[in-house]
A and B are shown apart, each in its own frame.
Chain A
Amino acid sequence: MTFLPGWPGGLAVDGLSAVLLVTLGAVLAAVLVFAAGEGYGARFFGLTLLFAAAMAVTVTATDLVLLLMGWEVMGAMSYALIGHDWWDARRVGSAGVAFLTTRAADMGLYAAAGFAVAGAHSLRLDDLAAAGAPWRDLIAAGVVVSALGKSAQLPFSFWLSRAMDGPSPVSALLHSATMVAAGAYLLLRVHPLLAATGWAATLVTWAGAVTALVLGAVALAQRDLKQLLAASTCAQIGFMVLGAGAGALGGGTAQLVAHAAVKSLLFLCAGVWLGELGTKRLDALQGAARRHRTVGAAFGVGALALAGVPPLSLWVTKDEVLAGAVGSPALLAVGLAASVLSAAYAAKALLAAFRPGGGGGAFRVPLAQRAPLVPLACAAAALGALGLPPVADAWRRLLGVPDESGPGPWMVALSGVLAVVTVGAVMAVRRIPEPAWALRWLWSEDVASAMVVRPAFAMARALARFDDRVVDGAVRGVARGGQAIAGLAGRRVEFRLDGLVAAVGRAARGLGALARRPQTGQVHLYYAQAAVVLAVLVVVAVLAG
């Protein structure tokens, strides 16, 4: 299928797309079943399906035009879903922040499409790396900006914090297999382009690494379960971005799939607690996991997987990603530090949920909400199998990167030990350092507001004033001038013209009456008049010669 005549492209499924489609389908099914248990209306399901469909188009598109379409519809649907409870001004505002932030970053993709037309004479994603010298760098820059924006990497991370105002199923979907995953997917997809430019791959690698580290710290500082999970999403996506930049495509994709399972599981559990207990504050959730065995067990599996505890999934996929970073000790160090932080914040969540006390008895959870948790928990636990050497080789062949090497055994062991030690330490001391600077997400929203939003509004106000006073003023002035001239014409010219016309009419009427005077009806008068006229005519004839 070609969308634009003369511009080859369309929808196609290859290994990477297939993996993402299966992931999307699985998570979507889980989320829909869960949401059915919560009793959402038709609008929610319609928007969710549209959201997932847009993601499906995005991951199967082979050219930039279709990709952009899916990308844009996904952004719009994220706005509609985050602001699902439209009667709450705060949520609608959050939806706006999320939408505008990702939208601003999307400009990069539009620019990249334009540069691709100009430089590569093709919109196909696999042709981008072959673009000419200045164009290739420009395309790469545009793609990187929009992908970082979509996947909430630094410096765009704050929108994900605001996105937490949406319903929990939306968060589960948005944080796992759609939206943020789309950014990571795009970077994985265009890795040849990033590698071809040189600088872009390095930039992406470090952006992912720094995000994983810093947002790990942010997650550690959170006192709200959903905020903690959101920041952890940023950090985990950071690993995928790191993998995409460093060339660990198999690892990055495995990380994406495993993280989708883990994070959707955790958000659905958080959703259960939010629904049943009415809170998502960590201190208020004390002992929540003990009050319902299935939910608690699922949450425990998910949190341990998030922590990277062997043999659960993220332990091995993270190491697969870091296998791409072995060439740079600094990068490896940052990655390992981020791993430690992820173990720490996962342990913080675990501690909050499983700490004895808090009171309250067991509660009942509808089957529809319980059911999806079990397969997701199994997946979160078992996807670590992707790291087993025979499975890993098949995985890489599926993705078309058979030459990638896996992590060394020492690294797997090291990260596993680090994770276990960290979790154990946190459990033992029951006190976690909470960096105060990270609580408000590094004030990145305030910074963006101060640096972008306020200047934009100020400029808009200035332009509006310019429009009102100068442009509109000129138009009004012209209208006033025209009115004045018209009034002048009406009073001075029109009056005289009108008078002139009336005078002509009066004169004609008078002359007409005069012209009928000779027609007396009396023949002797006719004779006399005819004689006089003929005499005059004789005079005329004589004078004229």
Chain B
Amino acid sequence: MNENPADLAPELCALAAAVAGLVAGMFLPRTRQWPVAVVCSAGLVAGLAFAGVAASGPDLMAFDAFSVDPITHVTRITVLGSTLAVVLLAAGPVRDHPRESEHHVLILLSALGTIMLGASSDLLVLVAAYLLASIPAYALAGFGKDAPGTEAALKYYLMGALLGVLMLGGVTLLSGVGRGTAYAVLRTGLADAPPAAVAAGVVALLAGLLFKAGAVPGHYWVPDVAEGAPPAVAAYVTTVPKIGAFAALYRFCAETSPDGRHALLAVIAAATMTLGNLAAFGQDNVRRLLAYSTVSQAGYLLVPVAMAGRTGLAQPALLYFVAAYAVTNLGAFAVVVAAGRDDLAGYAGLLRASPSLGLSLIVCLLGFVGTPPTAVFVGKVLMFGAALDGDSAWLAVVAAVNTVASVFYYLRWVVPLFRRPSAPPRPAPGATAVTTVVATAVAAAAALLSLVLGIAGGAALA
């Protein structure tokens, strides 16, 4: 059995940074806790470096429960990079907050849980990772201690509690009928188990993962949290946990069953993308609009998961799409943080007022649609390819129709950018100069990265 802790170096970096941040927070004055953000960022950067090194190494299994393979590599790099961006986004708003160090540490711990979620190949570790990823996020959602934040945190927690309990039940059921908790064991054990029990157990297990992924039926929290939580936290909970959740979903489906859970996940994918797109139509609050957009993107992301085991395109499609999604979603939320406004009308004339911010938003929104040469375009191409290759043309058609429909609400946000502002721009409430500058930089970087990934990926595809 491989028990080399060095195989978990990126995770250990994040953990060490979290612990160091916690300790430092205890000794630093309440109003001068910015070194915690530096410590956390440094830990994330170090983790990224180790993850990059590990990505060139061979596939292996650590502690019998932690897979180090391409899925884990992409999960690590995407989660650590996204978390770094969120820490930067949050650094301004929580500056001089009495609980600044806790904020950063909670983010790091949740990210750590997310990586574990995507890397674990054992049901028990999966449950532990689920709890580690979720519980700090509940606290973060209510961090503002205001009424919407508290309501969001409570709804988030209650949905997570129910679906987490169901997940625990599913794990119990599966380990009972499958005579084990490791995926390799379950692969043989579930084949002989009673199908109804397996079906119930799988659905119960998926309930928790779908909650983390923000897909039907675990999506109810997404709009409320995205609207109610602080913007940086909203960016975090709609981006990072999803990465781990999709990795976990894909790993579970691919490793415990010879042909995946095709029908079940295809139905969930179709329902999720359709519901997210339809519900986004009438939104005038950009954070709710982005929330439903993330629900619909979760639907697209479930397509390659549904194709697990049916086509070789499924894994590259999922990994590319999830990274592209993270970059694009962070870019869009960074614009919201920088603009400091939630109403759609407040974005009129943004392109004139702040060209870099407006252009970044346009790139991100067109990226969500899947316009070349953005990263999501490549991800969507791979996703359609996987659907067609996996003999699910109907799913590709549903995804295509949904993509066309999504143009409507993304353009509803793009069009006002070109208008003249109806009133002279008011200073955004609660946005300091530093926050705006940092968030603009993050948005521009995300937009650029989206273009780079799109062009490079397009070139690689071609």
Contacts and interface: CB of A to CB of B under 8 A. Distances in A.
A537 B408 CA distance: 30
25 contacts: A509-B282, A512-B279, A515-B279, A516-B279, A518-B220, A527-B162, A529-B217, A530-B159, A530-B217, A534-B204, A537-B206, A537-B267, A537-B268, A538-B199, A538-B203, A540-B264, A540-B267, A541-B202, A541-B203, A541-B263, A541-B264, A542-B195, A544-B262, A544-B264, A545-B195
B28 interface: no
A460 interface: no
B28 to A, nearest CB: 38
Nearest to A542: B199
Interface in A504-545: 508-509, 511-516, 518-519, 521, 523, 526-527, 529-530, 533-534, 537-538, 540-545
A537 B274 CA distance: 17
Contact of B275 (A515, A526, A527, A542): A515
Contact of A512 (B202, B261, B278): B278
Contact of A544 (B154, B200, B263, B279): B263
Contacts of B268: 537
Which of B154, B202, B224, B279: most chain A CB closer than 10 A? B279
Nearest to B157: A523
B216 interface: yes
A523 B263 contact: no
B281 A512 contact: yes
Interface of A: 508-509, 511-516, 518-519, 521, 523, 526-527, 529-530, 533-534, 537-538, 540-545
A350 B268 CA distance: 121
B159 A541 contact: no
Nearest to A544: B263
A156 B57 CA distance: 103
Nearest to B154: A523
Contacts of B206: 537
Contacts, number: 80
Interface of B is mostly: helix
Nearest to B259: A545
B281 A508 contact: yes
Contacts of B159: 523, 526, 530
A526 B199 contact: no
A502 to B, nearest CB: 14
Interface of B: 154-155, 158-159, 162-163, 166, 195-196, 199-200, 202-204, 206-207, 216-218, 220, 223-224, 261-264, 267-268, 274-275, 278-282, 405, 408
Contacts of A530: 159, 162-163, 207, 217-218, 220
Nearest to B217: A533
Closest 4 CB pairs of A and B: A512-B281, A544-B263, A515-B278, A533-B217
Nearest to B221: A526
Given A530-B207, A545-B195, A537 B264 contact: yes
Given A538-B200, A544-B264, A516 B220 contact: no
A526 B155 contact: yes
B212 to A, nearest CB: 14
Contact of A534 (B158, B217, B262): B217
B245 to A, nearest CB: 16
A512 to B, nearest CB: 3
Contacts of B405: 508
A506 to B, nearest CB: 12
Contacts of B203: 534, 537-538, 541
Contacts of A518: 220
Contacts of B155: 523, 526
B220 A541 contact: no
Contacts of B158: 523, 526-527
Contacts of B281: 508-509, 512, 515
Which of B158, B199, B202, B275: most chain A CB closer than 10 A? B199
Given A523-B159, A541-B199, A542-B195, A508 B278 contact: yes
B18 to A, nearest CB: 30
B282 A513 contact: yes
Given A515-B281, A534-B204, A534-B207, 5 more contacts: A508-B281, A509-B282, A515-B279, A533-B217, A540-B267
A232 to B, nearest CB: 85
Nearest to A514: B278
B438 to A, nearest CB: 32
Contacts of A519: 220, 223, 279
B282 A512 contact: yes
Contacts of B282: 509, 512-513, 516
Nearest to B211: A530
Contacts of B163: 530
A222 B314 CA distance: 108
A512 B203 CA distance: 27
Contacts of A516: 279, 282
B268 to A, nearest CB: 7
Contacts of A529: 217, 220
A544 B280 CA distance: 31
Contacts of A512: 278-282
A452 B163 CA distance: 104
Contacts of B216: 533
Contacts of A521: 224
A543 B224 CA distance: 34
Nearest to A512: B281
A279 B203 CA distance: 122
Contacts of A527: 158, 162
A518 B295 CA distance: 14
Contacts of A509: 281-282
A527 to B, nearest CB: 6
Contacts of B274: 515
Contact of A541 (B162, B218, B224, B261): B261
Nearest to A522: B155
A193 to B, nearest CB: 71
B3 to A, nearest CB: 36
A396 to B, nearest CB: 86
Contacts of A534: 166, 203-204, 207, 217
Nearest to B295: A515
B330 to A, nearest CB: 24
Contacts of B202: 541
A526 B218 CA distance: 9
Contacts of A545: 195
Nearest to B218: A530
Which of A513, A530, A545: most chain B CB closer than 10 A? A530
Which of B159, B196, B217: most chain A CB closer than 10 A? B217
Contacts of A537: 203, 206, 217, 264, 267-268
Nearest to A520: B220
A516 B163 CA distance: 21
Contacts of A533: 216-217
A509 B281 CA distance: 7
